[in-house]
Structure 1
Amino acid sequence: MMYRIVCVLMLLVFCTTGYSQGILKGQVKSRENGELLEEATVRLKSASLHTHTLGDGSFGIPVTRYPDTLVVSHVGYETMETAVTDRTGHLIIFLYQAPVTLSQVNVTDSRRAIRQITQIDLKANPVNSAQDLLRKVPGLFIAQHAGGGKAEQIFLRGFDIDHGTDVRITTDGMPVNMVSHAHGQGYADLHFLIPETIKDIDFGKGSYYVDQGDFATAGYVNLSTFDRPDKNLVKVEAGQFNTFRTVALLKVLDQQKDDQNHQAYVAGEYYGTNGPFESPQHFNRLNLFAKYTGQLDRRSSLGIQFSTFTSKWNASGQIPERAVASGEIPRWGSIDPTEGGNTGRTNLALKYRYRIADHENWTSTFYFSNYDFSLYSNFTFFLHDSVHGDQIHQSEKRKIYGMDHRYSKQLFGDNSDLTLVAGLGLRYDAIRGISLQHTAQRDSLFEYFALGDIDETNINGYAGLEWQRGKWRISPGIRVDHFIFNYNDQLTPGYQTQAADKTAFSPKLNIVHSVNSQLQAYFKSGMGFHSNDTRVVVAQKGVDILPATYGADLGVIFKPWPKFLIQPALWFIQMQQEFVYVGDEAVVEPSGRTRRMGADLGIRFEPVPWMYIDADISYAYARAMDEAKGENYIPLAPDLTSTGGIAFRPLKGLSANWRYRYMKDRPANEDNSVVAQGYFVNDLVVSYSRNRWEIGCQVENLFDVNWREAQFDTQTRLKNEPAPVSEICYTPGTPFFARLKCSIFF
């Protein structure tokens, strides 16, 4: 396999020839504030080639004939056309801000087109909470089942991803997923983000991207924060269940000059609520964020950001069906009201960009995180301890050190149609006191089930080529990840470090064909993986602990009219045998081989300038490969899901956004004898804004349906029950929940 990949890469290099007569160079800026615009699409009317601006707004594009017309477009700006002759020199293109519309989406690049569509979705349907951030990814569902402070359970492409095992999540390039976490592998807690600071959500489904490594099997999500917010903001929200939220976002530095652009701002958020539960959640979260970006000179820029958050909450946990049916507890009651926890994370990141030459660039990211986690849960009630109950406490303290470097170069100079992308990364997690304990009422400790220290290192590198030839773009690549695992089990006598190491090779191949400016077809394929918990690795002595996934996508992006876009795709994922560390029980379980296949359909439509309609439908067929038919269902794997809505702006300043999400009934166990109920939930946001202020109302679960947010087929025993019972335990979904909001801009 490796030999074939190398041969393909070499063949692409030696077969490439230049064709252009000259290179047109320039820079793209915002007319209103002089901001350098990255990711603007630049093309010539007479040619099929296009390019995109870099972080400093610069571009270079081959010109094959004169005269011609240069077309520059960017989401949120008016498209600009400029005449080009053989005497045209370096261009400075200024774009005027404009309402975000579908007509600004360029179909010539599938990955960028999807990103542009997400930007439009964000503008049409703004994020109203931290939970909404992940919901912006089509086909991705989340569920909260521990009082709002625990990371959400994630579902995507037939995967019950738990809290992040099979989706890679990053913010401004900094990893969110926690390896070898006390609660579950890949645990991804996004609550340290302030939604109002999010500028863009970049995502991709599948394991097809060389720059995305560990956990990127079902897909990846990268959230980017603003470098420069448009306005200062102070917001206050209040609603049912003693809910209160306030946000402030303030610019502290805003210098816009030709070669010395510097911006800095700070943001803060406080959120508190009791929730609808009989036992109040007493949820409190405080977030602080600061970011500086500066254009040091014509070739280099620097970004520094800091964030910290802390939260504390009580939880009512999952409740058994029989307890509610018998009247022992109400729908919003609990068996163990002392569940809950507290957590905090502090991040520091630095990003340096350097333009070595016109088509040669370097980016370095350095990051550090300090993380604390403490969670009390009770899933089985009195199954194991009929006197004190089965409450468990999971905790850890962690420091993460890391860096990522990315290099890109258009090979053979300006006249080349071959681009090299390469990267090198390092991540080191130092985890201390990672434990699982048997407790009661949060203050009695009976037994340690697990206690130890973990040191885990990931060294990775990748290289890929992008060969553009006419209407075709072929992108082969290879990624290599090497892991070093060390575990000190403090429950064994004497000090002894258990160690193992493993390497994963992940080849990729993407092929894109731009039929015309309205239609693009693509085929994506590649291998991926997710790492396993260090305690699994040492228990397996390093055997079968980085199982591969194999996947492929076949799809199109079709834009028959400027205001209508459709994205159908077929996909396939197969996962090798893996071993999973169950953090709630401190045991290792094999999961076997699995296969998933399905189809996605996305639709975006603007029938009139004041209306935006979107809908995403996803179907997945997920089965275990080594089990008998009828006993091979994958518990909680989503089958049919859909999200969408309509955004109205009928009058200046007035907007209304109706959103829905639908999940069909799905198997809760391997033979489908227990079913997790589906749901159809609607939300509504109405607001009225002027230049200096905005007021609005947000309603979750508009029609007050009884739905179940999280569900598990669990064997439990209630106090004084003679025998355990296996049935659905669930967290009830949010009831009708209204809150008012008021914002001031300055």
Structure 2
Amino acid sequence: MLACAGVAAEEAVQLSPVEVRAQTENLEGIATAGSAGVVSSQRLAAVPMLRPGEALEMVPGLIVTQHAGDGKANQYFLRGFNLDHGTDFATYVGGVPVNMPTHAHGQGYTDLNFLIPELVDRISFRKGPYYASEGDFSSAGAAHIDYRRRIDGTLAQLTLGQNGYARSLLASSPELAGGHLLYGLELFHNDGPWQVDEHYRKLNGVLSYSQGTRNNGFAITGMAYRGRWTSTDQIAQRAIDSGAVDRYGSLDSSTGGETQRYSLSGEWAKHWGKAQSRANVWWLQSNLDLWSNFQYCLNNGCPPGDQFKQSEHRQAGGFSASHAVFDNWAGFDVTNSFGLQTRVDRLSPVGLYATSNRETLSTIREDKVTQRSIGLWAQNETRWTDWFRSIQGLRADAYDFTVDASLRANSGRASDQMLTPKLSLVLGPWRKTELYFNYGHGFHSNDARGTTIRVDPADGVTPVSKVQPLVRTRGYEIGLRSEILPGWQSTVALWQLTAASELLFVGDAGTTEASRPSRRYGVEWTNLYVLSDWLALDADLAWSHARFRDHDPVVGDYIPGAVTGTANLGLTLDNLGPWYGALRLRYFGPRPLIEDNSVRSSASTLTNLRIGYKIDKRTQLALDVYNLFDRKVNDIEYWYCSRTAGEAANPAGCADGTAGGYDDRHIHPSEPRSFRLTVSHRF
């Protein structure tokens, strides 16, 4: 009997790293748009990821990259948007929002460096403003990342790689008082390929207690993350071409950052037979000190140079609740849902400072900000026939901002409200095929400081126009989901999205500003084909067209950073005896860098490889090779004005009138080919 129990325990801890057969999830009769989907933990586990944030690249059409040190939030691209560090794409982990409004560095800042991919259970994603339950930052899309409530056995994992890369992970979920106590502890260090060692140090942990399931149970989760790094930011192409700096060199070796994030959250769900209730409460404390230098010596000369520090100390909290009732009206099956969402952010302070070698020289602006929001939503889903259903919803949001600025003229209060209707029509299924028609309004909030500003904080005199607190977006979509052949799931989505005001990245300042109204449209084709229990293929292809709507024949109508084409192709192997593996190719298409499209970025294609071997049912080895073909491409490119140390002043100056500077391409290179070896053991 004991021998049998031992065999059963050993079988319980066996977990395939790929599990090809578990990669698909049937959304027939559930999804309300062709662009919505779920990424399973098994599919995520098969992907070699250079950075934690690249988990979001499993959202079809979404590109995740970096323009500075790896401790900083990634840069995201989707549906013709340069999302900067997260604006217009809402992200949640364990029910806690990741996007940070009125952030020191960028509106909607989304730092996913605290994510532990091995603990992710699934990623549920939606694109477009068609969902009543999605609010701020979700116009392009939203992703809800859920951690597991339990894992098999205890996982001990060690990864070693080039350039000082070392990562260790310990995770388990022992039974406790009728539930499970999930914990994960991650230690991390990396220098990267840069001539100035990144020396990125990360201490990261999660502790969660849960009972029941996500539909009928509860979970209490705490997370803690601290990171420090030295950053190699984007550098001027002319400095590389002249030999003044190496491709992996730096023009300011003291840039970088320090960050902390601590959160506590609770989730509760109850299934009542003909009803489903959910509630979530969360608290968050985060800090960031970020030193950057994008223009080098243009404004202040060298020394002291143009380095600046963006800093914030934030406490935030929120609550959400929803209730769905399943009923039958006059012979029609209906689901009526309604919900409430609230959030309060207090920043004390959020500031911008002139610095040199991380020493503060002066305060440009320093503010205390309180931002409050409340959202109410209601939705009705009616199944009119066995092949036709409609989902109609309405959302109401109200925002209030209080800004106490170091420059009194920029202090004040602002508020705004917005109603956003939603409608989806679903036809099918017919032979495992559904057709979707979607329409909806959405919005994004602007930085609170921009809603009360009156004068430029740099000189305290120059008048500056305020921005609207809430900016409306409007989207349309036609989608098709079908299982063309057994095991082949395919979706096609044709979409359009307009915005009343664009948030435009300004490379020379490292900030965003409200800009012109815009229109985007495009098509996405997503495929996952599980040919057998040992082979799966996936292909995500996307094309988009992005322009400003108010035609300007002088400046131009192109949206800087708006990507036209992307592709993510993958091959996954498992159950080949002890061997398993994955091969992934990512194509990141060219983008206009200025409004008249006279300067464009280059495209990039990167290929990553994983080869794994199961030593036994408990122990596995995996070798990851990043940038397999050692392509010399760029993660990011910008076009703006700068002047490097020792560089003679340009008599002509820059196109924007800045004296002495040079308009140039500024790049952050992709990392060269690198290797990482991981050993995992479950006990």
Q: Structure 2-normalised TM-score?
A: 0.90
How far apart are the structure 2 equivalents of 1:248 and 1:265? 11
For residue 574 of structure 1, the aligned residue among 472, 478, 498 is: 498
Q: 2:149 maps to what in 1? A: 227
Classify 1:104/1:328 alpha carbon distance in 2 versus 1 (closer, same or farther; 3 Å): closer
Equivalent AA in structure 1 for residue 218 of structure 2: L
Q: 2:658 maps to what in 1? A: none
How far apart are the structure 2 equivalents of 1:552 and 1:430? 35
Tell me which moved more, 121-130 or 221-230: 121-130
Q: 2:638 maps to what in 1? A: 712
Classify 1:427/1:359 alpha carbon distance in 2 versus 1 (closer, same or farther; 3 Å): same
Contact kept in structure 2, 1:100 and 1:123, CA below 8 Å: no
For residue 202 of structure 2, the aligned residue among 279, 285, 305 is: 285
For residue 262 of structure 1, the aligned residue among 179, 189, 200 is: 179
How far did residue 100 of structure 1 move? 2.5
Aligned residue pairs total: 644
Q: 2:655 maps to what in 1? A: none
Q: 1:384 maps to what in 2? A: 299
Residue 171 of structure 2 corresponds to residue 249 of structure 1: yes
Q: 2:260 maps to what in 1? A: 344
How far apart are the structure 2 equivalents of 1:103 and 1:239? 32
Contact kept in structure 2, 1:545 and 1:579, CA below 8 Å: no
How far apart are the structure 2 equivalents of 1:292 and 1:610? 35
> Once the two structures are superposed, what CA deviation does each residue of 1:401-443 show, in whole Å capped at 9, x if it has no partner?
1100011111359976011111001100010111001100012
Superposition pairs for residues 522-561 of structure 1, below 5 Å? 522-539=436-453, 544-561=468-485
- SS at 2:92's partner residue? strand
For residue 250 of structure 2, the aligned residue among 295, 315, 334 is: 334
Contact kept in structure 1, 2:107 and 2:512, CA below 8 Å: no
How far apart are the structure 2 equivalents of 1:413 and 1:249? 48
Residue 39 of structure 2 corresponds to residue 110 of structure 1: no
Equivalent AA in structure 1 for residue 598 of structure 2: S
- SS at 1:134's partner residue? helix
Superposition pairs for residues 260-659 of structure 1, below 5 Å? 261-295=178-212, 301-355=217-271, 357-387=272-302, 388-412=304-328, 417-443=333-359, 445-469=360-384, 470-492=386-408, 498-539=412-453, 544-577=468-501, 585=509, 589-628=513-552, 631-649=556-574, 651-659=576-584
Q: 1:698 maps to what in 2? A: 624
Contact kept in structure 2, 1:359 and 1:413, CA below 8 Å: no
Equivalent AA in structure 2 for residue 402 of structure 1: G
- SS at 1:548's partner residue? strand
How far did residue 628 of structure 1 move? 3.0
Contact kept in structure 2, 1:182 and 1:583, CA below 8 Å: no
Classify 1:624/1:164 alpha carbon distance in 2 versus 1 (closer, same or farther; 3 Å): same
Contact kept in structure 2, 1:594 and 1:625, CA below 8 Å: yes
Contact kept in structure 1, 2:19 and 2:42, CA below 8 Å: no
- SS at 1:417's partner residue? strand
Equivalent AA in structure 1 for residue 493 of structure 2: A
Q: 1:158 maps to what in 2? A: 80
- SS at 2:408's partner residue? coil
Classify 1:316/1:586 alpha carbon distance in 2 versus 1 (closer, same or farther; 3 Å): closer
Q: 2:672 maps to what in 1? A: 735
How far did residue 145 of structure 1 move? 1.9
Contact kept in structure 2, 1:177 and 1:188, CA below 8 Å: yes
How far apart are the structure 1 equivalents of 2:585 and 2:503? 36
- SS at 2:221's partner residue? strand
For residue 670 of structure 1, the aligned residue among 587, 595, 598 is: 595
How far did residue 364 of structure 1 move? 1.0
Contact kept in structure 1, 2:32 and 2:424, CA below 8 Å: no
How far apart are the structure 2 equivalents of 1:119 and 1:236? 20
How far apart are the structure 2 equivalents of 1:465 and 1:569? 23
How far apart are the structure 2 equivalents of 1:463 and 1:335? 53
How far apart are the structure 2 equivalents of 1:130 and 1:299? 27
> Once the two structures are superposed, what CA deviation does each residue of 1:518-544 show, in whole Å capped at 9, x if it has no partner?
111101110001000001111379763
CA RMSD of aligned residues (A): 2.6
How far did residue 579 of structure 1 move? 6.8
Q: 1:11 maps to what in 2? A: none
Superposition pairs for residues 89-128 of structure 1, below 5 Å? 100-101=21-22, 105-111=26-32, 114-116=36-38, 118=40, 121-122=43-44, 124-125=46-47
How far apart are the structure 2 equivalents of 1:236 and 1:483? 46
Equivalent AA in structure 2 for residue 383 of structure 1: L
How far did residue 569 of structure 1 move? 1.3
Classify 1:537/1:594 alpha carbon distance in 2 versus 1 (closer, same or farther; 3 Å): same
Classify 1:110/1:552 alpha carbon distance in 2 versus 1 (closer, same or farther; 3 Å): same
How far apart are the structure 2 equivalents of 1:379 and 1:585? 7
- SS at 2:56's partner residue? helix
How far did residue 230 of structure 1 move? 2.1
How far apart are the structure 2 equivalents of 1:586 and 1:101? 42
Equivalent AA in structure 2 for residue 291 of structure 1: S
How far did residue 482 of structure 1 move? 0.4
Classify 1:293/1:127 alpha carbon distance in 2 versus 1 (closer, same or farther; 3 Å): farther
How far did residue 121 of structure 1 move? 3.1
- SS at 2:150's partner residue? coil
| Percent of aligned positions that are identical | 30
Q: Structure 1-normalised TM-score?
A: 0.82
How far apart are the structure 1 equivalents of 2:208 and 2:23? 30
Equivalent AA in structure 2 for residue 655 of structure 1: Y
Classify 1:123/1:593 alpha carbon distance in 2 versus 1 (closer, same or farther; 3 Å): same
Q: 2:117 maps to what in 1? A: 195
Tell me which moved more, 346-355 or 646-655: 646-655
> Once the two structures are superposed, what CA deviation does each residue of 1:454-489 show, in whole Å capped at 9, x if it has no partner?
000011110000101221110000011100100000
Contact kept in structure 2, 1:481 and 1:503, CA below 8 Å: yes
Classify 1:169/1:204 alpha carbon distance in 2 versus 1 (closer, same or farther; 3 Å): same
- SS at 1:189's partner residue? coil
Contact kept in structure 2, 1:353 and 1:362, CA below 8 Å: yes
Structure 1, gaps ≥5 residues long: 1-31, 34-75, 78-96, 256-260
- SS at 1:537's partner residue? helix
Equivalent AA in structure 2 for residue 235 of structure 1: Q
- SS at 2:441's partner residue? strand
How far apart are the structure 1 equivalents of 2:322 and 2:266? 14
Contact kept in structure 2, 1:351 and 1:363, CA below 8 Å: yes
- SS at 2:87's partner residue? coil
Q: 2:5 maps to what in 1? A: none
How far apart are the structure 1 equivalents of 2:446 and 2:152? 42
How far did residue 115 of structure 1 move? 3.3
Equivalent AA in structure 1 for residue 576 of structure 2: L
Contact kept in structure 2, 1:693 and 1:743, CA below 8 Å: yes
How far did residue 246 of structure 1 move? 0.4
How far apart are the structure 2 equivalents of 1:242 and 1:588? 34
Contact kept in structure 2, 1:544 and 1:578, CA below 8 Å: no
Larger-Rg structure: 1
Classify 1:213/1:411 alpha carbon distance in 2 versus 1 (closer, same or farther; 3 Å): same
Contact kept in structure 2, 1:699 and 1:738, CA below 8 Å: yes
How far did residue 361 of structure 1 move? 2.1
Tell me which moved more, 298-307 or 504-513: 298-307
How far did residue 614 of structure 1 move? 0.4
Tell me which moved more, 554-563 or 543-552: 543-552
Tell me which moved more, 193-202 or 582-591: 582-591
How far apart are the structure 1 equivalents of 2:25 and 2:613? 25
How far did residue 159 of structure 1 move? 0.2
Classify 1:198/1:514 alpha carbon distance in 2 versus 1 (closer, same or farther; 3 Å): same
